[in-house]
Amino acid sequence: MIARLVGTLAHKSPEQLVVDVGGVGYQVFVSLQSFCRIPDVGQSVRLLIHTNVRENALELFGFTEAGERQLFSLLTSVSGIGPRLALNILSGMPFAELKAAIEAGDLVRLVSIPGVGKKTAERLVVELRDKVKLLDAAGDRAGPARVEDADAEAVSALVNLGYRRPEAERAVQASRAAGERELENVIRGALKRISA
């Protein structure tokens, strides 16, 4: 799985980028929120990546901030919300406002996002309200971004080993709650919990 890309921006449009990494151009889909923070074509760019593998395609979704990537993962965990709709939701309003709307159960605000109907908005609130509160508890940007990156890498490693994503996420959270800090120890602790 690709977790991060660092390269030169070769193409930029509101829906997608092409990032040149060592002569290979990677197509990356981004939200409008991330797009606004992307530098000009020809400049260096660093993106956190969510890799989506389907039967007939491998898609890369890029984010300029770890919190946005984490919220994207939460959105795709909701039944009926795929990666494209999750990206559309993230494009619909700034990251902090979206988190606040989900936490507050503000259905009117959520339904104002194109592609989000009343039932989808209700599912977002029911399934993510508590998880979004945990995101808010993470604290300042510098430290948690590293923790979120490490957790995402640990989950990705477990998924690559054949474990289901929800099971991997629970095991990584439990390992982190038990006091593990280093990536290697988080993965080791998560494996023990899954195997128990």
Q: Closest Cα partner for 41 from 57, 54, 53, 25? A: 25
Structural fold of domain 4-63: OB fold (Dihydrolipoamide Acetyltransferase, E2P) (2.40.50)
The Cα 49–Cα 63 span in angstroms is: 6
End-to-end CA distance of the chain: 26
pLDDT given at position 138: 43
Which CATH architecture does the domain made up of 66-136 adopt?
Orthogonal Bundle (1.10)
Show me where the domains of the chain are located: 4-63, 66-136, 142-195
Class of domain 142-195: mainly alpha
Q: What is the pLDDT of residues 144-188, one digit of tens each?
A: 345 556 677 777 777 777 778 888 888 888 888 887 777 777 888
pLDDT given at position 143: 34
Residues of the chain with pLDDT below 50 are 136-145
pTM: 0.66
pLDDT given at position 144: 37
Same fold, 4-63 and 142-195: no
